[in-house]
Amino acid sequence: MVHDLQHRMLARPDAEESSRQRYVLAMKRYLTGRIRPGNALIYEQAVRPDFAASHQGRSPEDRSELREALLAHPQYQTWCSLNRSSQEMMWQAVGETVMRESERMRRDAAALCEDRAVLGGLRLDPAFQPPEVLQRVNIHLQPGGYARTLDAQDILAGAFYESGGNLYSMGRGMGGKDSKAGAVIAWLSREHPGFRPKRVLDMGCSAGASSVPYAQAFPDAEVHAIDIGAAMLRYAHARAEALGARVFFHQLDCAATDFPDGHFDLIVSHNLFHEISDETRRAMLAETWRLLAPGGICMHQDVAIQNATRTLFEQVERAWDVEFNNEPFWEAYADADIVSEMQAAGFDEEGARALALPKISGPGHWYAVYGHKPG
């Protein structure tokens, strides 16, 4: 495949699948790096002047006016179609490998998670109902979405997530060594060099790509990770075992877990904010406050798309994913004042702030909120 980290659970493309995946990657890189920047020119040189001509010389005043005008332009429509197609092609290319490999991956998952060898753990709840929206919407077009679970051995949601996610990230310009958890761990070791959490919680862990680095960075810590999908978590557990990492996975909602008060010294999430509603995010922040031990730290990281720092055009252009990539909460996240929400959840003014975290590999930075509970 195209990503650097290899392990036994990863779906392995054959030569033909690999070349198809590389083609999709090249197409995504071209669309992101070479074509997408042209959307600003389309707006400045065509859409805005045309709008002004028919609106007494004024520019669009809100997102809905600007969106409507932009979407009517044929060149922007072309980019939208190509970008959507590249996402569909990505899932198709990755899906060929995942489906061909699924029986082998199920067998390997069972072998890796045999009781006598296991390092971490998996706690699934047959009565758990994933949030309704995640059962209905295939977020970022992933076949079956995050929540689909076909049977008691199913690992497909995790396999799709990891293989598709690797290709997607690299298509967005991130390097094969990029690690969102690595960015947080690097920040913690710089700003809190003596910090050694006894218990860590990773919320919205998907395939566990961000949970494992905490087990590796803090080998004496007990690392727990939660998500809503059983097939996602089954894969994550097997993947962590394949990497020799001790992580305990649980099927729980970040809005209301069953861990005791003050149980964790470090609580993190990676790219979860943009996948949850305003209501769930506020409940998750309240849960973070409840679960943090005195002296504990939280760090919730996500994509840096905050609308407060963007022009109206950038806000609309970045919200492409809402309409065309099944990301219902992308814009709500971009609008949110998360530091104020943390304060409403219990953090004091000193104890909550927003950060720009440098990426480990690739351009730009991540957005993160840091919180500290007084000791």
Should residue 233 be labelled a site residue for ligand SAM when binding is judged by CB under 6 A? Answer: no
Q: How far is the CB of 3 from ligand SAM (least distance, A)?
A: 12
Pattern 257-276, ligand SAM, x by CB under 6 A = -------------xxx--xx
User: Cβ-closest residue to ligand SAM?
Assistant: 204
The residue among 66 and 267 lying less far from ligand SAM, judged by its C-beta, is: 267
Give every CB contact of residue 26 below 8 A, 6+ residues apart in sequence.
none
Minimum distance, C-beta of residue 195 to ligand SAM, in the bound complex (Å): 21
Q: Of residues 166, 210, 307, 315, which one binds ligand SAM by CB under 6 A? A: 210
Residue 247 binds ligand SAM (CB under 6 A): no
Q: In the chain, count of helices (H) and strands (E)?
A: 15, 8
Question: In the complex with ligand SAM, which residue's Cβ is closer, 146 or 313?
Answer: 146
- Stretch in the footprint of ligand SAM (CB under 6 A) among 21-29, 91-99, 220-228, 307-315: 220-228
Min. distance of Cβ 316 from ligand SAM in angstroms?
22
Sheet hosting strand 222-227, strand order edge to edge: 121-123, 247-251, 222-227, 199-203, 264-270, 292-302, 365-372, 352-358
Nearest to 297 by CA among 259, 256, 264, 272: 264
Question: How long is the chain?
Answer: 375
Residue 108 tokens, joined: 């390997």
Contact flags string 128-167 toward ligand SAM, x per CB under 6 A: ---x--x-----------x---------------------
232 is a site residue for ligand SAM (CB under 6 A): yes
| Among 19, 43, 7, residue whose Cα is nearest residue 315 | 43
Q: Is there binding between residue 338 and ligand SAM (CB under 6 A)?
A: no
- Residue pair 156/148 in contact (Cβ under 8 Å)? The answer is yes
Which x/- pattern over 112-131 shows residues binding ligand SAM (rule: CB under 6 A)? -------------------x
Q: Which residue carries 């590796």 as its tokens?
A: 216
Binding mask 187-206 for ligand SAM (x = CB under 6 A): ----------------xxxx
What mask, x for binding ligand SAM by CB under 6 A, covers residues 47 to 66?
--------------------
Least Cβ distance, residue 171 to ligand SAM (angstroms): 15
User: If binding is defined by CB under 6 A, does position 178 make contact with ligand SAM?
Assistant: no
The CB-side HSE value for 283 (13 A sphere, CA atoms) comes to 10
**Site residue total, ligand SAM (CB under 6 A):** 24
363-366's contacts with Cβ under 8 Å and 24+ in sequence apart are 363/173, 364/304, 365/304, 366/180, 366/183, 366/301, 366/302, 366/303, 366/304
Whole-number minimum distance, CB 280 to ligand SAM, in Å? 5
Residue in the block written with tokens 């905490």: 214
Q: Is 291 in the site for ligand SAM (CB under 6 A)?
A: no
Q: Which 74-103 residues touch ligand SAM, going by CB under 6 A? A: none
| Helix, strand, coil percentages for the chain (3-state, nearest 5) | 50, 15, 35
Provide the greatest CA pair distance for the chain.
Answer: 75
In 3-state terms, what secondary structure has residue 114? coil
User: CA-CA-CA-CA torsion for 223, 226, 232, 237, nearest 10 degrees?
Assistant: 20
Residue 202: both structure tokens together = 């990773």
Q: Taking the complex as a whole, how short is the minimal distance between the CB of residue 97 and ligand SAM, in angstroms?
A: 19
Q: By CB under 6 A, name the binding residues for ligand SAM.
A: 131, 134, 146, 180, 203-206, 209-210, 226-229, 232, 253-255, 270-272, 275-276, 280
